[in-house]
Amino acid sequence: MNIKLKNFNRLHYLKNYYKLKKVNTICQVANCPNRYECFTAQTATFLLLGDICTRNCQYCYVTSGRPKEVDHEELNNILTLIDYLQLDYVVLTQVTRDDLSDGGAEYIVKVVNAIRKRKPRIKIELLISDLNGNWQALEKILAVKPDVINHNIEVTRNYFELLRPMGDYNRSLEILSKIKGIKKKSGLMVGFGESLKDIEQTLRDLRKVGVDMITIGQYLQPSQNEVAVQKFYSENEFAQIKAKAYQLGFQFVEAGQLVRSSYRAKAGFYNE
């Protein structure tokens, strides 16, 4: 799949700037196909708690292994970038940290509070892990009332055990069901061999637990180490899936070949 680059100089500058400021973005760490568009628009999704994940999902480009100690300078570096980019909407995500008793929840709360202290009017979207089912940790995150909480279901139920062997489909639904009074969001990738019926059932499952916003994108094999693509969906097929999602009651839907979970996040919050 060819991706057209715009404003290459700006892209190159921001990639180097993030590296210089020692801030990870999921855009770069996960080899996101939209990083070109988002960087040139001065947006990015900041990746908390390092760049090594304790899980081994079969589609993911993020390095799996033993994470390093939490770098507490990361917070100051993120605050610097928020000021530099003049952000009024920020998306924060994390690597899964099963090595931490609370999955990193306390640190995430610290980051949210620091950002709000610096910029009280900023909107914050969190894309969190399943916290290994630690509901007390989830309560810590809910208590700071981020504007949006996203937890990606990622794949349909029938492919979950194969592709996410350390996760659990029902646990992901449960974490979403426990989010109350906050806009909630999820993301789904397609192209692993699932049927349209499988996709619709996952959308129904997400609506049953009150998910308001959904992103649906084409899985693209990031390297030879991840599972191969089984099907490329056409934009017409994505349009059909998007229409079905709206029929099921989602308030905001992004669906397309290059759509990822943080794509047009701000637009989703304002339902534009």
Pairing of strands 148-150, 183-190: parallel
Length of the chain: 272
The structural domains of the chain, ordered by start, are: 8-269 (3.20.20.70)
- Which pLDDT does position 2 carry in this prediction? 42
Average pLDDT over residues 13-23: 55
pLDDT of residue 107: 95
| Confidence (pLDDT) at 195 | 97
Question: Is the pLDDT reported for residue 24 higher than 90?
Answer: no
Q: Would the pLDDT of 13 be above 90?
A: no
Tell me what pLDDT residue 58 has: 94
User: Residue 186: pLDDT above 70?
Assistant: yes
The overall average pLDDT reported for the chain is 87
Q: In 3D, which of 111, 104, 127 has the Cα closest to residue 175? A: 127
Output the pLDDT for position 261: 83
| Higher pLDDT, residue 133 or 76 | 133
Beta-strand ranges (E) seen in the chain are 45-48, 52-53, 63-64, 89-94, 123-127, 148-150, 183-190, 213-218, 252-256
Give pTM, 2 decimals: 0.89
- Contact between 89 and 46 (Cβ < 8 Å): no
> What mean pLDDT comes out for the span 120-135?
96
Distance CA 159, CA 147 (A): 31
Helix 8-20, helix 73-85: angle, nearest 10 = 150
Write down the pLDDT at residue 17: 53
